Amino acid sequence: MKSVLDNIGDPLEVILNALIQSERDWDFDESSAVVFGIVCGWHEVLPDVARKSGWSEEQIDRLTRLRARFVALCPLAGDN
């Protein structure tokens, strides 16, 4: 099995690939949901994750802005 550490390029891309390749349930708790939301984006399931996490509209907007800033730093993150 290929390790996420086989890609020794950009550290942000390594983090992105680690999350994408993981079989973990990233909406299990709020902290994990936030990390996944920033790095990978929740896309069409964001309303469901937000409801499960108890996020307000302001918190959803903040997560969306953080996601946009991450994609600006790691353009590959915008491809998933």
Q: What are the strands, taking DSSP E only, across the chain? A: none
* Overall number of domains in the chain: 1
In a domain, 66, yes or no: yes
Q: Is 2 domain-assigned?
A: no
Residue 43 has pLDDT above 80, yes or no: yes
State yes or no: pLDDT of 13 exceeds 70.
Answer: yes
- Does residue 13 belong to any structural domain of this protein? yes
Which of these ranges, 13-17, 23-27, 51-55, has the smallest mean pLDDT? 13-17
Residue 65 domain-assigned (yes or no): yes
Task: For residue 3, tell me if it sits in a domain.
Answer: no
User: Considering the domain boundaries, does residue 17 fall inside one?
Assistant: yes
* 33 found inside a domain: yes
DSSP 17: H
Q: Residue range 50-57: average pLDDT?
A: 97
- Residue 41 Cα to chain centre, angstroms: 5
Domain span at 25: 8-79
8-15 contact pairs (CB < 8 A, 24+): 10/74, 10/76, 12/70, 12/73, 12/74, 12/77, 13/74, 13/76, 15/39
17-25 mean pLDDT? 92
User: In this model, does residue 8 exceed pLDDT 90?
Assistant: no
Confidence category of residue 9, pLDDT binned at 50, 70, 90: confident
